[in-house]
Amino acid sequence: MATTSKGLFGSSLARKYWMAVSGLFLCTFLVGHLLGNLQLFVTGEEGRQAFNAYGLFMTTFPLVKILSYVTYLAVLLHTVDGLMLARQNRAARPVKYVKEKQSANASWASRKMALLGTLTLFFIVIHMRSFWYEMHFGYVPTYMLDGVEYKDLWTITVAAFENWWYTAFYVVALLGLAFHLSHGAQSAFQTLGVNHPKYTPIIKKAMGAFAWVVPAGFIAVAIFLFVVQPGQSI
């Protein structure tokens, strides 16, 4: 049993496998999260109600609540495995030789995955403190509409992006995420053994596009809120 446990979670190969699985799951989360955030492009009362209805659905629908817990677990697993792999790689390599070889053969993003991952983790902590924590434990204004009580998540979201420093931090963090995904998303398929002469180049191109299009969508929303929506929060 101990050997099996180590094989599933303790070896370097197993950690790479779980990194790939959790990373790809988090990619699907990013798509869903972006689709919800796109409603912030709608201005005025219509946009406010649409985004708050989305927030109510995301916090009350049973399947979505289950997926949210899976997402928390995926973030934790991805983070722990990433830290363990970075430590193992640092301990195993002859520093000068490997650095020279990496510089010649690897992209900047692949060489800075630990740094980019750390930036992304820091962003997640700040982002969850600003929104998730406030939604569950802080003060969020509420209102009634057609007999349903809504938390006014639209208001606190618009208010957050009225601050230039938060918007700037958000943009920088999402650029870091784009670089992180530009290497990690396509390498995840290789780790899982997806290697086909016809389809692998297509996967690489698709995931390369994904790595920049999705973060660009989040950045576009943030800039829109900063430029167009300021002063509309209550």
- Give the structural domain span for 199: 2-227
Judged against a pLDDT cut of 80, whether residue 105 lies above it is answered with no
Residue 210 lies in a domain: yes
Is 127 within the bounds of a domain? yes
pLDDT at 97 over 70: no
214 pLDDT band, cuts 50/70/90, is very high
- Can you read off the two tokens belonging to residue 9? 């979670």
Q: Does position 160 have pLDDT exceeding 70, yes or no?
A: yes
The answer to the question of residue 233 being in a domain is: no
- What local confidence, expressed as pLDDT, does residue 102 receive? 53
Instruction: Return d(Cα 213, Cα 31) in angstroms, integer.
Output: 10
CATH of residue 183:
1.20.1300.10
The 3 state secondary structure assigned to 114-157 is HHHHHHHHHHHHHHHHHHHHHHHHCCCCEEEECCEEEECHHHHH
**How large is the average pLDDT for residues 60-65?**
91
Domain tally, the chain:
1
3-state secondary structure (DSSP) of residue 223: helix
Residue 47 in any domain: the answer is yes
Please check whether residue 234 lies inside any domain of the structure: no
Kindly tell me if the per-residue pLDDT of 67 is higher than 80.
yes
Is 184 a member of any domain? yes
pLDDT at residue 190 in the model = 87
Q: Would you say residue 41 has pLDDT above 90?
A: yes
Residue 201 lies in a domain: yes
